[in-house]
Amino acid sequence: MATFDDFLKLDIRVGEIIKAEVFEKAKKPAYKLWVDFGDEIGIKKSSAQITECYRCEELIDKQVLGVVNFPPRQIGDFMSEVLILGVYGSQGVVLIQPEQPVKKGDRLG
């Protein structure tokens, strides 16, 4: 079992997708995302397997939640720096988003 202290170790922030492109070299269909987490954290890259529910062009300006304190992970020829959070629904992965617009970099709490 995870403890509440384990949960508190995760730094989960709001970011805004500023660029998205098809990840041609990924083993499973995915997008390369560039996400702006505000002044403190900056722009970070992520690979996301969300192609079943989203098109690249509709991702721009979308606010998402991401874990920003995991170590970077090499995925093919792309370095993924954050983990964008989503729910595994029957239709595919659905992004977790704030219900209302908030500032980039705001923490989940």
Q: What is the pLDDT of residues 30-43, one digit of tens each?
A: 999 999 999 999 99
Q: What is the pLDDT of residues 69-106, one digit of tens each?
A: 999 999 999 999 999 999 999 999 999 999 999 999 99
CATH number at residue 61: 2.40.50.140
pLDDT at 109 over 90: no
CA distances from 97 to 25, 57, 61, 104 (A): 27, 17, 12, 12
pTM: 0.94
Res 74: pLDDT: 95
Name the domain count of the chain. Answer: 1
CA distances from 17 to 12, 14, 90, 107 (A): 15, 10, 24, 16
Q: Is residue 86 part of a domain?
A: yes
Query: Where in the sequence is the domain holding 35, given as residue range(s)?
Result: 8-102
The H or E element that residue 83 is part of is: strand 83-84
